[in-house]
A and B are shown apart, each in its own frame.
Chain A
Amino acid sequence: MIDEWRDRRTGLLTRHFFHALFDFGVFTQEGADAFVRVMLGLFSLLVCLGLLLIRMYARKYALLFHAISAEPYLQAVLADTTLAIAFPMWIVALVTVLVSQSLFPDETDFRVLMPLPIGRGLVFGAKLLALALFAGVFTVTSHVALTPLVMLISGGPWSTAARPLGILVYWIVSVPASAFALLAVVAMNGAITVCLPGRHVHAATAAMRSAMLGALMLALSFVMALPTQSVRLAQHSRLMFLAPPAWFMGVARILLGYDDPYFFALARAAAVAFVSVAAIALGSYVILYRRFDRVMLHALEGSRRDSGRRRHVTNRARAAVRDFTAATLRRSALHQGVLVGLSACGVALAVNSLLSNGVCTWRLGDGAPPSGILSTVAWIPLPLIIVLGLAARSSLALPIEPKANWVFRMTERDDTRADQLHTAERMLTLFAALIPVALTLPIQWTVAGPRALLASAMTGVFGLLCVETLLRDWRRIPFTCSYMPGKHSVQQSTLAAVFLYLVPGAIGGALEMGALRQPSPAPGVVIVAVLSAVAFALRRWRRAKWRDFPLVFDDELPADVQVFRLS
């Protein structure tokens, strides 16, 4: 009877924690439900992606099966197995990072649950169970999506093992590989929580979350490039020890009966890494279980610097919003995560283009760069401008404590409004113009020499035009308005994204290509001058509008998001 009651409480608490993993704190209950529906849609998309991969790989393997020797097949299967292990690892790591604020019971759990007649063990157990279920859903979905691909590559005339055995070994190895990804994220968060003084934990975990999100986005380019690493794997390159999925591929080869010291070394690395992260994760859970109050009631430390004080402040309204924005981005894991995560997506896109077009393997002194390389370095500023600009705008648009915005509403004045909005302009200029210039100028200089200066000037002007596009309807103090995901219909969003990505990308890329190629800089200079004048005029128009129209504030979070009407 007592056991049954305990089971019911465990189930109830686990369900509560499981639902909380989908709550990012910016949605209402209805919004969170809609978010779950979107997540379910993404699961189906994942399965479709797996089927799409089959179509892509079917032709490649048809050729390999009919090759005159087994060598090409054996090389390709190594790299593709590594990809099939890496992809679920990446997905599980990503979702774990996204919910990393809920990896351990927090202060709210402590305050709400501890007065109730339930033990600490039940709270921790339910939390772990919910996390395992959450990760399990993504692990199983991604493996189901990739099993057809594994089925394809583990069969055929050159295969050394039966197809069912190949699939079984894949699941036996790849599921622990995904568990390794989960444990690695838990271990890093746990180590920080346990090792740092309580007052620094909040800021440190937020920074760690953003760093991991950024690293994962950048890693996606390398995950996608794994199929091109077949030669490196076949030649037993030491470089592959830097890629955790390759360790688990080593385990898979050992289980399939390959007696190769290279695979044994990779498998050893997998075992050591798995045991290490599991020990750290388990250890941090045990320590936190014993010192529950440490994580629950840690003092939330702010800045010990006298922010703004003793600094010469020329414009009070600007300084107020600037310091508010800086403090929010420094301390809010959500805002920092959106900014860093989306920005890293843009950088990953650029890195992927550079990798896939051989810019990294082309060396200076090899003569004039091929046009493929030139067009790649001419094109990469555009995705950087668009994605980094969107990242900055999205992070500023997400609310924090929406009901606290009354202080801005009570102090709004026509004469200071433009100054209060200046921070948004400055941040977007930094992300959409200055950072893309700083990131691409060295690469363009390496490939095209001094002509890169003109191309960079174009990058800067495109960035400023992007800032004007993104700030067209902007009339909000950062973080003070409600946020509704999926405000526009799917068709509208898709069209806008395609337009934003392709049209300015194609035109901008062509213009920068011209600047990098043309012997005479005159046409490029004229284009930069004209576009600068346009950007300047748009800026003046926008600033005049900022003076005339009141700020936008929303007190309440939206009651519901507009769901994707796919049916």
Chain B
Amino acid sequence: MLDVRALTKRYRGLLAVDNVSFTVNRGEIVGYLGPNGSGKSTTVNMVVGLLEPSAGTLLLNGCSQSDDPVAYKRRIGYVPEEPYLYTHLTATEYLTLVGRLRGIAQARLDHAVPELLRLFLLWDSRYSTMAAYSKGMRQRVLLAAALLHNPDLLVLDEPFSGLDVNASLLFRSLIGMFAAEGRMILFSTHRFDMVEKMCSRVVILSAGRLAAEHRVSRGRAGESDSLEALFVRVTAQEDYAPVARRILDVVQDA
């Protein structure tokens, strides 16, 4: 289980994340929603160990991030929001690099890397450096790299951006099966449709604070608000119709 307790992050006096707590249980896909600037990416960066929390604790299957950061990070697979990759490397070189840094045996890499490239439909581009890849292809490389070491927790930050329909369907099936095997997924996104289709629970963040925790299945069954309505309500989003009208007026006047 991922246990996030009273997580806080301050940047020179600015409170980016304020006392956020939630859990991700085994076999669960938890959606993580929030408007831009709500502290979503900061939380994700703390969960994967790229940012040091100012306060609070992070426990993954009982292993504390602050006590043993190496053991903690070893169990996590991460797909960042932007496809930050060494684009001068080929996909094979990148996956080999990540695998070796994760301490995976060379024999296992020799088997897994080509297989993953084939399955993620990257085999034909294996000799091209990733500079020539589309965003969707880079996203697929990142997911392959995140799964390479068979992690307990998969943290996905907008993993569907740039993916075509087929790749999105593959990702969805893959993530579903991964969770069904008893692993955990924290799924940070702006897409309600994906959250409603994939997640069992959703955590909503607003202005750095936990605004709501919501069981998606209840929403789907019509027992409570729709996710979108709940999000608009708890994050105090304004009515966008007048804003949209004003934008059109401006471009038509120009």
The listed residue (A317, A323, A412) touching B93 by CB distance below 8 A is A323
User: Whole-angstrom distance between the alpha carbons of A205 and B163 in the complex?
Assistant: 33
CB atoms of A328 and B50 under 8 A apart: no
User: Once the chains bind, are B129 and A301 in contact (CB under 8 Å)?
Assistant: yes
Can you give 10 contacting A-B residue pairs, CB < 8 Å? Answer: A300-B128, A302-B89, A307-B96, A312-B106, A316-B104, A328-B86, A407-B97, A410-B73, A412-B70, A416-B103
- Chain B residues with Cβ below 8 Å from A447 are none
Question: Is B100 engaged at the interface, CB distance under 8 Å to the other chain?
Answer: yes
Q: Does B102 contact A (CB under 8 A)?
A: yes
- Which residue in chain B gives the minimum CB-CB distance to A318? B100
Per the CB 8 Å criterion, the residue count for chain B at the interface is 37
Given contacts A316-B104, A411-B101, contact A400 B96 (CB under 8 A): no
Q: Which of B76-84, B179-187, B202-210 touches A?
A: B76-84
Q: Quick check: A410 and B88 within 8 Å, CB to CB?
A: no
| Residues of B with C-beta under 8 A to A408 | 101
Q: Using a CB-CB cutoff of 8 Å, which residues 143-167 of chain B contact chain A?
A: 145
C-alpha gap A118/B86 in the complex (Å): 33
Cβ proximity bits A410-421 to B, threshold 8 Å, 1 near / 0 not: 111110100010
Name A310's contact: one of B78, B89, B110, B132 (CB within 8 Å): B110
A327 at the interface (CB under 8 A from B): yes
Q: Is the CB of A327 within 8 A of B93?
A: yes
Q: Which residues of A contact B73 (CB under 8 A)?
A: 410-411
Sorted nearest first, the 10 A-B pairs with minimum C-beta distance are A320-B100, A302-B90, A411-B101, A316-B100, A300-B132, A403-B84, A300-B129, A404-B84, A313-B106, A302-B129
Shortest CB–CB separation between residue B170 and chain A, in angstroms?
23
Contact with A along B102-125 (1 / 0, CB 8 A): 111110011001000000000000
B20 within 8 A of A: no
Q: Given the complex, which residues of A lie within 8 Å of B97, measured CB to CB?
A: 320, 323-324, 407
Max chain A CB contacts within 10 Å: which of B82, B92, B97, B110? B97
A314 — nearest CB in chain B belongs to which residue?
B106
CA distance A407 to B148 in the complex (A): 13
Smallest Cβ distance from A386 to chain B, in angstroms?
29
Q: Please name the residue on chain A nearest to B113 by beta carbon.
A: A309
* B93 near A302: Cβ-Cβ < 8 Å: yes
Tell whether A406 pairs with B131 under 8 Å between CB atoms, given A302-B90, A323-B96: no
**Residues from chain B with Cβ under 8 Å of A414 in the complex:** 70
| Interchain nearest-CB distance for A423 vs B (Å) | 12
Interface residues of A (CB under 8 A from B): 199, 202, 299-304, 306-310, 312-313, 316-317, 319-320, 323-324, 327-328, 331-332, 400-401, 403-404, 406-414, 416, 420
Given the complex, which residues of B lie within 8 Å of A317, measured CB to CB?
A: 100-101, 103
Q: Which residue on chain B has the smallest CB distance to residue A407?
A: B98
**In whole angstroms, what is the CA distance A86 to B183 when docked?**
69
Cα–Cα, bound, A199→B96 (Å): 22
Residue on A with the closest CB to B82? Answer: A403
* Distance in angstroms between the alpha carbons of A411 and B77 in the assembled complex: 11
Please indicate the chain A residues that have their CB under 8 angstroms from the CB of B19 in the complex: none
Would A299 and B132 be within 8 Å (CB), given that A308-B96, A407-B98 are in contact? Answer: yes
**Minimal Cβ-Cβ distance residue in A for B104:** A316
Q: Is the CB of B84 within 8 A of A406?
A: yes
Given A316-B104, A323-B96, A410-B78, residue A303 in contact with residue B90 (CB < 8 A)? yes
A299 touches B82 (CB 8 A): no
CA of A310 to CA of B97 in the docked complex: distance in angstroms?
15
Contacts of B100 in A (CB 8 A): 308, 313, 316-317, 319-320
Q: Is the CB of B92 within 8 A of A307?
A: yes
Contact partners of B86 in chain A: CB under 8 A: 324, 328, 400-401, 404
* Cα–Cα, bound, A202→B89 (Å): 13
- B109 shortest CB reach to chain A, Å: 8
User: What residues of chain B lie closer than 8 Å to A332, measured between beta carbons?
Assistant: 88
> Across the interface, which residues of A come within 8 angstroms of B50, CB to CB?
406, 409-410
Task: Decide: A307 near B93, CB < 8 A? Known: A406-B80, A410-B78.
Answer: yes
CA A309 to CA B76, docked complex, whole Å: 25
A-chain residues with CB within 8 Å of residue B93 when the two chains form the complex: 302-303, 307-308, 323-324, 327
The reply to whether B101 and A306 contact each other, CB–CB distance below 8 Å, is: no
- A327 B88 Cβ-Cβ under 8 A: yes
> Is B211 among interface residues, defined by CB-CB distance under 8 A?
no
Contact A410 B48 (CB under 8 A): yes
CB of A375, distance to nearest CB on chain B (Å): 45
Additional pairs, 10, CB under 8 Å, beyond known A302-B92, A306-B92, A324-B86:
A300-B131, A301-B127, A302-B127, A302-B129, A308-B96, A309-B113, A310-B110, A323-B97, A407-B98, A411-B73
| A411–B89 alpha-carbon span in the complex (Å) | 18
Question: CA A49 – CA B106 in complex, angstroms?
Answer: 57
